[in-house]
Structure formats: structure tokens, C-alpha cells
Amino acid sequence: MKKLNILTIALIIFTFKVSAESFVYITDELDLPIRSDKNFGNNIIRLLPSGTELSLLKSTEDGWAQIQFDDTIGWIKTFYLSSNPSAREELKKLTREYNSKSLLISKLNDEKEELEKKLITLNNDNTDLIVQSSKSQAEKEHIEQIYQDALKLEHKNEKLIQENLQLKTELQLAENNNQIQNDTSSRNWFIVGAIVLFFGMVIGLIVPNLLKRRRF
């Protein structure tokens, strides 16, 4: 029996013998007092609610623990302490986390809906751009065809201009030749006329003399 008591005390010491940086939590649902020393009496410093996180400074074999909360250092019974938050506080914490995550999910869903709307708008705009691009491509091809036709017409026009210049040159040569021929013909007719006039004058002089001789 004595060995069992020693083992129990050793287990208690092992359980509550923690470092000064450890944290413990008040497990009772009532506000518990922090006392100035390890005695029950008129030595309460302040009251702390369930779930309050405390810094454990040391624990003793007689079931007391020295703790620190903010600037307050005092004593509290170890059976009111736990190395883990109480289920009620855990539930509150989980509830807060759940509510926070629910709000976050709601916000993300709203952002998702907004992004989906923007995506639909962008897809519509993209479709319009594709259609516009197709029209622009068709217009580009049409303009390129017009440009090619214009180049062909320009080439044909240059060819016609060359042909026209050649025809003008040939026409000028023909006119010059015609003028030369006209001048030559006029000169020939002038010579012929002069010859005819000459012979006419000769005949006019000879014939009267011949007629006079016949009379005599």
C-alpha cells in the first residue's frame, strides 16, 4: 500500500513537473481564483474564467501549481488545470474557425461567381474578337486582291502608254513622210507645170512663124 502511494505521488510529480514555458488551461466551467499562496483563505488575487491560458511556472507535490497570467503570478490547485484546452473552449475555437472559414468560403464563392461572370464576358468578347478578326482577315485579303489588281492595271496602263507613245511616234513619222511626199508631189507638179508652160511658150512662138511662112 505504501509503494502504491509512492507510485501515485511519483506519477503526479511526473505529470505536473513541467518547464516554466509550458501552458495549462482552466478546465472548470466556473471562474476560479488565483491565490497569493498555497492556502485556502482570504488570499484571492483575481478570478479567471474557464479556458483561460496560463503560463505554468512550477508545480508542487502537494497539488498546487504556480502560474502566471499577464502580470499576475499566483497559485491554483492542479486538478483545475489541464495541458489541453477544455472541450467547451475547443468547441468555441472550432466554432470561431468554422464561422471564419464559412465567411471565407462565402467570400471565395462570391469571388468565384464574379470571376465566372468575367470569364463569360471575356469568352463573349473573345468570340466577338474572333469574328472581327475573321472579318478583318477577309477585308485584308480583299484589299490585297484590289492592290494586286491595281498593280496589274498600272502595268497594263504603262504598257498602253508605251504603245500610245509608239503609235504617236509612228503617226508623226507617217505625217512627216506624207508631208515629204506632198512636198515632193507639189514640187513635181510645179516642175511639170513649168515644163508645160515652157513648151507652151515655145509652141506659141513657133506656130505663128510656121503659119506666116506658109502664107508666103
C-alpha neighbours within 13 Å on the C-beta side of residue 115: 6
Q: Which of 35-49, 82-96, 139-153, 173-187 has the lowest mean pLDDT?
A: 82-96
Domain that holds residue 65: 2-85
pTM of the complete model: 0.35
Separation between Cα atoms, residue 78 and residue 69, nearest integer Å:
15
User: Is 201 within the bounds of a domain?
Assistant: no
Separation between Cα atoms, residue 173 and residue 112, nearest integer Å:
88
- Residue 71 has φ and ψ, to the nearest 5°, of -95, 5
Q: pLDDT (tens digit, 9 = 90+) per residue, 141-200?
A: 889 889 888 888 888 888 888 888 888 888 888 888 888 887 777 777 878 777 878 777
Could you give the C-alpha distances from 190 to 178, 187, 201, 204, in angstroms and in order? 18, 5, 16, 20
The answer to whether residues 8 and 24 belong to one domain is yes
The answer to whether residues 42 and 69 belong to one domain is yes
User: Is 22 within the bounds of a domain?
Assistant: yes
Length of the chain, in residues:
216
DSSP bridge pairs for 75: 35, 66
Provide the domain count of the chain.
Answer: 2
Q: pLDDT (tens digit, 9 = 90+) per residue, 99-156?
A: 888 899 989 999 999 999 999 999 998 988 898 888 888 888 889 889 888 888 888 8
The answer to whether residues 10 and 74 belong to one domain is yes
